[in-house]
């Protein structure tokens, strides 16, 4: 059976994020009226995904290295995008990522006050990435780089839980058809299954978020359809979880999201007993 390998410190898995930092990301996100740029949304998505993934691996007094994390930025250049102490590194144990954000901001959050109302609470919100929007969109180069990094990782962890590559982009490549390098990424495998490639489409179009669709028909434009067609079909274990979240799935359901962050994906990661009363 595929996608059943244990994820632990001695058998870690891997997340590789590809983030579009091209000039087109300066355009508005989700329609002119949002007041946000696509680059702002990309930074939010990657920061939130990293934050949630780290919290998932956190125990008292530390973060367990269940994953190796890489972030490749593509725009003016294609390469590792971590700043500060992690600059230049392709894959970093998640504990190091946790302890090296660029900064930690204090944000206000509304929480249940226990008496039927809401109270303001200050929470610490780590920032690894600030919005960047310059240059072209060399998505093919980014996927080729991902293929090379994943080839190295899968050969070193031949029996590991397969890595997940998440590409966050507006789907407007400037260096050719990304379907070919995308295919070469998802052809890589460990003995436990193929590498998964998911795409998060950050668009200037307004419209309701879509996650894990099973057909192109509901998608708003060609950019979304391109990213959808490059995405891995969900393996059975993920289809089951997605279905439990109330999303209709079929064998054609793909790892694609439009204007959404896929943070819900983190909940599906199985690294031990998760109480069903912890949502």
The residue ranges that bind other proteins (CB under 8 A) are 6, 8-11, 51, 54-56, 58-61, 63, 98-99, 104, 112, 114, 123-126, 270-278
Minimum distance, C-beta of residue 5 to other proteins, in the bound complex (Å): 11
Minimum distance, C-beta of residue 131 to other proteins, in the bound complex (Å): 21
Q: Where are the alpha helices (DSSP H) in the chain?
A: 38-57, 94-98, 139-156, 179-186, 222-230, 236-244, 263-268
Calculate ∠ Cα 144-145-146, nearest 5°: 90
Q: Please identify, using beta-carbon distances, which residue of 26 and 83 lies nearer to other proteins.
A: 83
Instruction: Kindly report the number of other CB atoms within 10 A of residue 110's CB atom.
Output: 10
Q: How many Cα atoms are found within 13 Å in the side-chain-facing hemisphere of 100?
A: 14
Please count the residues of the chain.
Answer: 279
Minimum distance, C-beta of residue 258 to other proteins, in the bound complex (Å): 27
Minimum distance, C-beta of residue 55 to other proteins, in the bound complex (Å): 5
- Phi first, then psi: give them for residue 97, nearest 5 degrees: -60, -45
| Residue pair 53/164 in contact by the 8 Å Cβ criterion | no
Q: Please identify, using beta-carbon distances, which residue of 66 and 258 lies nearer to other proteins.
A: 66
Q: Please identify, using beta-carbon distances, which residue of 149 and 242 lies nearer to other proteins.
A: 242
Minimum distance, C-beta of residue 120 to other proteins, in the bound complex (Å): 15
Q: Please identify, using beta-carbon distances, which residue of 50 and 78 lies nearer to other proteins.
A: 50
Q: Please identify, using beta-carbon distances, which residue of 57 and 146 lies nearer to other proteins.
A: 57
Instruction: Kindly report the number of other CB atoms within 10 A of residue 109's CB atom.
Output: 11
Minimum distance, C-beta of residue 169 to other proteins, in the bound complex (Å): 27
Residues 6 or more apart from 131 whose CB is under 8 A from it? 25, 37, 39, 40, 42, 43
Sign, Cα dihedral of 226, 244, 110, 64: negative
Residue 58 parent element (H or E): strand 58-59
Q: Please identify, using beta-carbon distances, which residue of 10 and 108 lies nearer to other proteins.
A: 10
| Residue pair 94/65 in contact by the 8 Å Cβ criterion | yes
Q: Please identify, using beta-carbon distances, which residue of 221 and 237 lies nearer to other proteins.
A: 237
Minimum distance, C-beta of residue 118 to other proteins, in the bound complex (Å): 15
């Amino acid at each position: 059976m595929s996608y059943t390998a244990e994820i632990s410190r001695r058998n870690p898995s891997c997340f590789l994020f590809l983030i579009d930092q091209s000039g087109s990301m300066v355009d508005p996100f989700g329609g002119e009226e949002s007041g946000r740029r696509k680059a702002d949304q990309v930074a939010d998505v990657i920061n939130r995904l990293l934050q949630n993934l780290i919290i998932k691996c956190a125990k008292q007094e530390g973060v367990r290295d269940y994953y190796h994390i890489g972030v490749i930025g593509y725009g003016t250049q294609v390469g590792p995008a971590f700043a500060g102490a992690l600059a230049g590194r392709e894959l970093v144990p998640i504990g190091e990522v946790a302890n090296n954000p660029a900064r930690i901001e204090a944000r206000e959050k509304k929480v249940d006050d226990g008496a039927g109302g809401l109270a303001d609470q200050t929470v610490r919100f780590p920032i690894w990435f600030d919005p960047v929007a310059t240059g072209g969109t060399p998505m093919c180069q980014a996927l080729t780089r991902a293929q090379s990094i994943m080839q190295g990782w899968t050969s070193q962890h031949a029996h590991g839980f397969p890595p997940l590559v998440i590409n966050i982009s507006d789907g407007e490549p400037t260096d050719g058809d990304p379907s070919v390098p995308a295919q070469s990424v998802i052809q890589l495998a460990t003995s436990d299954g193929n590498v998964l490639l998911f795409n998060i489409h950050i668009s200037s179009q307004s419209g309701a978020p879509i996650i894990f669709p099973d057909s192109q028909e509901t998608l708003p434009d060609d950019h979304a359809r391109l990213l959808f067609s490059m995405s891995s079909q969900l393996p059975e274990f993920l289809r089951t979880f997605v279905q439990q979240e109330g999303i209709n799935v079929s064998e054609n359901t793909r790892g694609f999201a439009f204007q959404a962050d896929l943070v819900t994906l983190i909940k599906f990661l199985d690294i031990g007993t998760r109480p069903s009363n912890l949502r």
